[in-house]
Amino acid sequence: MNLIETHAHIYSSKFDSDRDKVIDDIRKEGIERVYMPNVDVETIDVMLDCEQEYPDLCIPMMGLHPCDVKEDFQKQLYIMEDWLNKRPFAAVGEIGLDLYWDKSFFEQQKDALKIQISWAKEKNLPIVLHCRESMDETIEIIKEEQDGSLKGIFHCFTGTLSQAQEIIELGFLLGIGGVATFKNGGLDQVIPNLKLQHLVLETDSPYLAPVPYRGKRNSPAYLPIIAEKIGDFLTISKEEVAKKTKQNALNLFREFSHEL
């Protein structure tokens, strides 16, 4: 199988002790690309080091994660905008809203999201959205901002069928990861009612490992497990899932797709 990993923090310190081996495992599983979402200013250098070390595999994005939106968020955004003006990135991400960890900077999160959406529009880049405990709020902002040019992924989608349909109508893809394998993850009620053309695969490594690795460090090498689970839901082969989701991802990240 040839697969595309649309969301993995492979530059995370959790891989520092054995990153070369993890990369070897990823390649052995047929993963052709690993798209890396940025988190904050501190992660930029380690992410770009990862790209330099594995340039045929690891592709960076640029953005400020909502959990890292604090008092100084405008300073961080200034640095990130400068990076976006200096060199290519596959997407503006990981950006969005988070009402799970800390609600105290929610207004600033919304401001940061809208600023970063404006970058994506200006540069014709996709956005990769984090929407933990904030699916409806994120959908509402995308509705307001959608002018026909906005595209991207609702990363780690765990919402309802009606939310999935709203997202699809907005022209966005759903990022499906390890939660699809969880017994009470809820995606067994959603994915069978969707078309493969609206899905991409992700792991969110090192987080959210699929069953049977749940609770352990996640890896893009586990992507075939997610492809197989989606295939089960849609009663198609994992190879078909791999082929179509790869094409979906390459169509979205088209500026970085010419070699595949």
Residue extents of the structural domains in the chain: 3-256
Nearest partner of 249 among 233, 227, 232, judged by Cα = 227
Q: Nearest Cα to 201, choosing from 181, 227, 219, 222?
A: 227
In this structure, which amino acid lies at residue 206? P
pLDDT digits (tens, 9 = 90+) for 91-132: 999 999 999 878 889 999 999 999 999 999 999 999 999 999
pLDDT at 1: 84
Q: How far is CA 233 from CA 75, 192, 212, 237, in A?
A: 44, 5, 18, 10
Nearest of 160, 88, 171 to residue 131 by alpha carbon: 160
| Structure confidence at residue 13 (pLDDT) | 98
Average pLDDT, the chain: 96
Report pTM.
0.96
CA-to-CA distance for 212 and 247, rounded, in angstroms?
A: 27
Q: How many CB atoms lie within 10 A of CB 174?
A: 24
**What CA–CA distance (Å, rounded) separates 16 from 211?**
24
Superfamily of domain 3-256: Metal-dependent hydrolases (3.20.20.140)
Distance of alpha carbon 68 from alpha carbon 41, whole angstroms = 9
Q: Residue 247 above 80 pLDDT?
A: yes
pLDDT in tens, 178-216: 999 999 999 999 999 999 999 999 999 999 999 999 999
Tell me the per-residue pLDDT of 42-86, one tens digit each, with 9 for 90 and over.
999 999 999 999 999 999 999 999 999 999 999 999 999 999 999
